[in-house]
Structure 1
Amino acid sequence: MTIVLQDIRLAIIVNPDLPPGHLANTIAAISIGIGSAMPDLGNCRLTDSRQNTIDISSNRPVPILQADSRTIGALLLKALPKEEDRIVVPFPAFARSLHSYADYEAQFPERDLSDETIDGVGLAGAAKWVKSLTGSLRLLR
């Protein structure tokens, strides 16, 4: 990946109408996807004055924004097709009904994301690109 890390901006957009547990799960799953696609966002350890070493959570802000599913789906389609220097991690609602990743992986090729309800999407890439997609969205409250 050829992204200049200083220019990276992150955003996670979720449907605020999801039940709290589903909301938390959606954000967590998207975060894992972004982190695995771009490990330099958090692959670091820090040691405090007592020599307690931790793995950091993130080396930059991760705003959680809100939008309804229709807006999230439209935003996802604008972000696609995915370019090499951009991370796009959607959470389609159908994934929640499946009980294993193998089932998700098997069903995904038969699905059309433009027809699916999207509960959330995570973006990482050049600040200008992320801002162009999320600039009008509000923080999740």
Structure 2
Amino acid sequence: MTVNDDIVPLRGTGDLRFAIIVDPQLASGLLANTVATIAIGLGARHHGAGNVRMTDSNGVTIFNSADRPVPILQADAAALASLLEKAHAPSTDHSVVAFPAFARSLHSFEEYESVFPERRLMTEKLDGIGLCGPSKWVRSLTGSLKLLR
């Protein structure tokens, strides 16, 4: 896999905020998988928030994980459904990544992509949601949520 050197890292600049909200009732392995999967979706959409090549004094080169905080918040199933309802409006300045619980029973992305159009996301149980957009928008949706502990 090659790195797209045309991507301009944001390096913490700009009014862009992330939040990942998960159901705290998930088992720890499912919780970790949900957060990781949502983070990959957000990172793919907003790849300028990462992709900074960094080399240490010994010559070890890595890519940064993120250029700003990514709080992991908690919300129960009802709150996740409400959050999706408020956040889902199409926009060019924000993104929503959802992890519906039914996705766990599928064994390939092709299968997920195939059955997704037949589902109604607003009525599905959600394991988590990722948000990225202007700080005011993200805070308006997540300001009352607690950090996952």
Q: TM-score, normalised by structure 1?
A: 0.95
Question: Conserved in 2, the CA contact under 8 Å of 1:12 and 1:64?
Answer: yes
Structure 1 segments, 4+ long, off by >6 Å, are: none
Aligned ranges 1:58-73 → 2 under 5 Å: 58-73=66-81
Residues 1:104 and 2:119 are matched in the alignment: no
1:26 corresponds to which letter in structure 2?
T
User: What does the per-residue CA deviation read over 1:108-135, in whole Å, with 9 as the maximum and x for residues that have no partner?
Assistant: 0001111100110000000000000000
Residue in 2 that maps onto 1:124: 132
Deviation at 1:80, TM superposition (A): 1.2
Alpha-carbon distance in 2 for matches of 1:89, 1:82 = 12
Paired residues, what number?
138
SS of 1:22's equivalent in the other structure is helix
Question: Conserved in 2, the CA contact under 8 Å of 1:73 and 1:114?
Answer: yes
Deviation at 1:48, TM superposition (A): 1.0
Q: Percent sequence identity over matched residues?
A: 57
Unaligned residue ranges in structure 2 (runs of 5+): 1-9
Q: Which has the higher helix share?
A: 1
Question: Conserved in 2, the CA contact under 8 Å of 1:16 and 1:23?
Answer: yes
User: What does the per-residue CA deviation read over 1:83-118, in whole Å, with 9 as the maximum and x for residues that have no partner?
Assistant: 111110000000011011011000000011111001
Question: Conserved in 2, the CA contact under 8 Å of 1:82 and 1:88?
Answer: no
RMSD, aligned α-carbons? 1.0
Deviation at 1:70, TM superposition (A): 1.2
Match for residue 42 of structure 2 among 23, 31, 34: 34
Residue in 2 that maps onto 1:55: 63
Question: Conserved in 2, the CA contact under 8 Å of 1:15 and 1:68?
Answer: yes
Residues 1:85 and 2:101 are matched in the alignment: no
2:136 corresponds to which letter in structure 1?
K
1:23 corresponds to which letter in structure 2?
L
1:54 corresponds to which letter in structure 2?
I
Alpha-carbon distance in 1 for matches of 2:61, 2:95 = 29
User: What does the per-residue CA deviation read over 1:42-94, in whole Å, with 9 as the maximum and x for residues that have no partner?
Assistant: 11111111121111111100000000011011101100112111110000000
